[in-house]
Amino acid sequence: MAQQEVQLDRERFCLDLLKDPVATVCGHSYCKSCINSHWDNGEERGRYSCPQCRQTFTPRPVLEKNTMLADLVEELKKTGLQAAPADHCYAGPEDVACDVCTGRKLKAIKSCLNCMASYCEKHLQPHLQSAALKKHKLVEPSEKLQENICSRHDEVMKMFCRTDQQCICYLCSVEEHKDHDTVSAAAERTERQRELGLRRQTIQQRVQDTEKDMKLLQQEEEAINGSADKAVEDSERIIIALIRLLEKRSSDVKQQIRSQQETEVSRVRELQERLEQEITELKMRDHELKQLSDTEDHNQFLHNYPSLSKLRICHLRNFEDVTAAVSRVRGRLQDILSETETEI
């Protein structure tokens, strides 16, 4: 188990040529950045360990440059020697593996439909260099290559049976599918590709038409919003002007009423003064009449008997007609507002 852990840790470290190599106290060498990152992430209670031999150090060691190894790395770089592939180059469970690699397989970068195999970059070179292999059909790495092999004759299925709607090999076409409508898989692909193109054109045209409809609806929405905003703005402006007009008319009516009030009050007070004077005169007259009434001389009484004066009765003015007029205006305005609300 310990050996497996050591192997795992070694695979995590320095899978390429060492960069800025340093040596630990136990003699193992690592990239300076790799070992520092390992210790930064895994330090525990001030103890540091070698990823390979597990020797622990306290305090954290001062790393010294491995001069000899650094020189060797530089020489290797000059000669073009490359390090082993990094971990990310190897095929994982979800990757397509190279069918030629032995041991730990590299990721495939292409699959060949003629060879029915997948190749990494190194083993793909013959297909890129050989004139005969250049004619092979290379596709993206696929795990389903075996689905192209006929389970009955173990041959590549290059034919298509239109009667049974399935891929078949050449031997199938001359045996159990002998009297069926068969064509090459390439010809069927070409026909279906054409149909697919027509369907895509129909869908794309539908998308364009729908996008145009969407654009028209968007424009209609913008127009509705703009019209509504303008209507609100205009209505507010008109109503504010109407309110100001009513306020001004209210002020005018109030001013007219007050002016008429002053006129009428002045007239009444003048009339009051005249009536008070008349009362004074009447009291004096009453006193004279009393004296006359008390006169015992009949001839004297008849001689001084006055002619009675008539008293004028003046009617006071009120403002009920103004209130009635304003009430009529209110009623008419309410009727107009009700009609306008129905129209809105």
Q: Which of 164, 211, 208, 207 is nearest to 183 (CA)?
A: 164
Q: How confident is the model at residue 308 (pLDDT cuts 50, 70, 90)?
A: very low
pTM: 0.41
Q: Which of 96, 110, 173 is nearest to 139 (CA)?
A: 110
pLDDT tens across 59-84, in order? 777 788 777 777 777 776 666 555 55
- Domains, the chain, ordered by start: 2-84 (3.30.40.10), 85-148 (4.10.830)
And the tokens for 55?
A: 């020797």
Q: Which residue has the tokens 């970068």?
A: 109
Please say if the pLDDT value at position 43 is more than 60.
no
And the tokens for 76?
A: 């290797």
Q: Which residue has the tokens 């000669």?
A: 79
Q: How many beta carbons lie within 10 A of that of residue 223, not counting itself?
A: 10
pLDDT tens across 19-33, in order? 778 888 777 787 887
